[in-house]
Structure 1
Amino acid sequence: MTNLFFESGNLEATEAFLSAAYTPMQIGGRPADTRARISRTEAGGLSVDRLSFGYTMRYDAGCLGKVCLVTMHSGTIVDTTGGREEVFGPGETFLLAPHDRPYEGQVREARYTITMFDPRLLGRVAAVPGEKDVRITGARAVGPAENRRLGAAVAYLRDHVLDDGAGPADPDGLLVSTAAQHLAATVLRTLPNTARGDAATPRDRRDAHSDTLRRAVEFIEANAHRDITLTDIAASIPVSPRAVQYAFTRHAGTTPLAHLRRVRLGRAHAELRAADPAGATTVAGVAGRWGFAHQGRFAAAYRQEYGVSPSATLRSG
């Protein structure tokens, strides 16, 4: 995990930092208050930045090359790309710009969070046939509930995964990769995109038989310790991701990723049972190794599955 911090009242220095940290850009305006404060935490291709500007700043920037989500806390951002004027305010989480297009606008005395990840991750988690690229086609969530869900996913990543010291250790990167997949899946459920509404084909339905389920379960069991997605599970059989989803729904009454979480919960349970209560093993460390960042949610899921708390299991080892 890496951390970056910048604070300055010099506009030229701020412009140079923004160009190095994001994409080449020019900022306009010569305000009286030139305070700028930016911090970044980054791991496994994910980054969360906290930004605060005490003035109105015009920007004209090149392509970011990443999915860039902005969560507004105060002030406004005005997108003027292509001559339009779209205003975003507190409580909104939105796509700043397509990853492969330049953008321009204004930051107006704003405090906000930027979350960025590789756009190829959308294709990895989307249940679409083949290697089809997935693009986000609109900046705003499709509804108020979806905006809240997207904002909550960003907050979870910020406060429980990438906030330095907030989450458990993640030596193998499974925690960060699981959180990244969750965020990408939330983006696909909440923002307009080319994967929304894809229908299952007749072949998907034919392939959703019990042998597909068996082979998918075997792959999950053998690879639960790795960073795997629905696309990886489907490719191991091989069938389409839609067929895997239908097989789990039809024959197991669950989803592939829900089954993966349950397998990882079982591995965490086995590790806690085998640990020496007087040793160095901690619940947070075990949870993190199996992709669980939020301790409260991990404990609740654990208790529901095993009837005791994870700490009780560790003490009885």
Structure 2
Amino acid sequence: MMHRSQREITTAEPSAAAEALSRTYTTHDLVVVAGSGPFVFTERVRGTALLSLGSTGCSGVLSGSVEAGTTMMIVWLKSGSAVVDDEPVPIGRPVLYRQEPQRFRWEDFQHDVLRIDRTVVEQVAAERGDWRPGPLRFRPHHVPEGPALAAWWLTVRSVAEHVLRGPSEVSAAREHELARFAAAGLLTAIPHWPVGRHEPALASTARFARAETFLLDHATESITVEEVAAAAGLSVRGLQAAFQRHHGITPTMYLRRIRLLLAREQLQAGGDRSVAEIARATGFAHLGRFAGSYREEFGELPRQTAQAARD
């Protein structure tokens, strides 16, 4: 069995915040200072050595360098501003830290971070890419968009449900399975290849990876399970089994949830387009079924999301 540890801290002292961050991350030259207003720092981390999810907020400024070490560390900014290695961090997009130390500056921010055991990620990448397990390179400063980004958020939602709301004790096999699931989401979102190779046009060559890539490339089009299977050289039954193994759901359900997340992102962006126009643009032909699936997934109707964005 593995124990999911949990740490929480709220403090108004920069020194206590620095101490907490040093326990969570491998940092160098860490500086924590108050901003123009009262200093507040909060952090919550839950998980195991294989997989953990954390959330940090600070009204001040954090700077220094950080290294991921034996994990893959993916962070996404929810509010505020941040720079990593002189590159601005966009709000709402996952950013992957490299293994070597990287300089950072986070100011008046909230962010979440997912950490996955590096060996697990390398093993899953090898299976998806049909190469030997080993160190990976990721496309620098890559910011996923569209269906690839939706696939990432689908992964995060599922992982968060297990890590944050799951039991404190979990079997090693189940935690390893969940870490593999998280690794697959990362590998779908950010192009990667083995160290020593030149960056290929398509790093993943295994059949399931081809199927997933085809599905995401055509997510808003009218495609069938048979077409996805044929694109990957799989039978429909083999495709169904592969999606169950990698994502825990059927390819049809996976496609529908990707489309729903795409629709939600567009609804939240506001603008003049109607709900019907957004539904059609994201692959839904029947507005009534779209509204029902959307409410089941997000707990509100599409028009309510659109109205909140306009307000």
* TM-score interval for Structure 1 and Structure 2 normalised by the shorter chain: 0.5 to 0.7
Question: Does the CA-based 8 Å contact 2:35-2:59 persist in structure 1?
Answer: no
Q: How does the TM-score come out when normalised to structure 2?
A: 0.59
Q: 1:57-206 residue pairs with structure 2 within 5 A? A: 57-79=62-84, 81=85, 85-95=86-96, 97-99=97-99, 101-126=100-125, 127=128, 128-158=130-160, 160-163=161-164, 166-167=165-166, 171-194=170-193, 197-198=202-203
* Alignment partners' CA distance in 1, 2:146 and 2:249: 33
Counterpart of 2:15 (choices 12, 24, 37) is 12
**How far does residue 3 in structure 1 lie from its aligned partner after superposition?**
0.6
* Alignment partners' CA distance in 2, 1:185 and 1:173: 18
Number of matched residues?
A: 215
SS in 2 for 1:254: helix
Q: How does the TM-score come out when normalised to structure 1?
A: 0.58
Residue 220 of structure 1: aligned partner: none
The 1:105–1:264 alpha-carbon spacing in structure 2 relative to 1, beyond 3 Å, is: closer
Q: Does 1:254 align with 2:253?
A: no
SS in 1 for 2:137: coil
Q: CA RMSD in A?
A: 3.5
Residue by residue over 1:69-97, the C-alpha shift from the partner in whole angstroms, topping out at 9 and shown as x without a partner, is 11222112211x2xxx22123321221x2
Question: Does the CA-based 8 Å contact 2:63-2:106 persist in structure 1?
Answer: yes
Question: Does the CA-based 8 Å contact 1:122-1:184 persist in structure 2?
Answer: yes
Residue 35 of structure 2: aligned partner: 31
Question: Does the CA-based 8 Å contact 1:55-1:108 persist in structure 2?
Answer: yes
Residue 221 of structure 2: aligned partner: none
Residue by residue over 1:79-134, the C-alpha shift from the partner in whole angstroms, topping out at 9 and shown as x without a partner, is 1x2xxx22123321221x212x1111211211111110111212211232223432
The 1:200–1:5 alpha-carbon spacing in structure 2 relative to 1, beyond 3 Å, is: closer
**How far does residue 193 in structure 1 lie from its aligned partner after superposition?**
0.9
SS in 2 for 1:249: coil
SS in 2 for 1:24: strand
SS in 2 for 1:131: coil
The 1:262–1:74 alpha-carbon spacing in structure 2 relative to 1, beyond 3 Å, is: closer
**How far does residue 17 in structure 1 lie from its aligned partner after superposition?**
1.7
Q: Which amino acid aligns with 1:143?
A: E
Question: Does the CA-based 8 Å contact 1:142-1:192 persist in structure 2?
Answer: no
Q: 1:226-237 residue pairs with structure 2 within 5 A? A: none
Question: Does the CA-based 8 Å contact 1:137-1:192 persist in structure 2?
Answer: yes
Question: Does the CA-based 8 Å contact 1:153-1:183 persist in structure 2?
Answer: yes
Q: Which amino acid aligns with 2:72?
A: V
Residue by residue over 1:192-214, the C-alpha shift from the partner in whole angstroms, topping out at 9 and shown as x without a partner, is 2116724759xx9xxxxxxxxxx
Question: Does the CA-based 8 Å contact 1:92-1:151 persist in structure 2?
Answer: no
Query: Which structure dedicates a bigger proportion of its chain to strand?
Result: 2
SS in 2 for 1:50: strand
**How far does residue 251 in structure 1 lie from its aligned partner after superposition?**
8.7
Q: Does 1:56 align with 2:94?
A: no
* Alignment partners' CA distance in 2, 1:161 and 1:169: 10
**How far does residue 47 in structure 1 lie from its aligned partner after superposition?**
0.7
Residue by residue over 1:43-69, the C-alpha shift from the partner in whole angstroms, topping out at 9 and shown as x without a partner, is 351111111101232223345432111
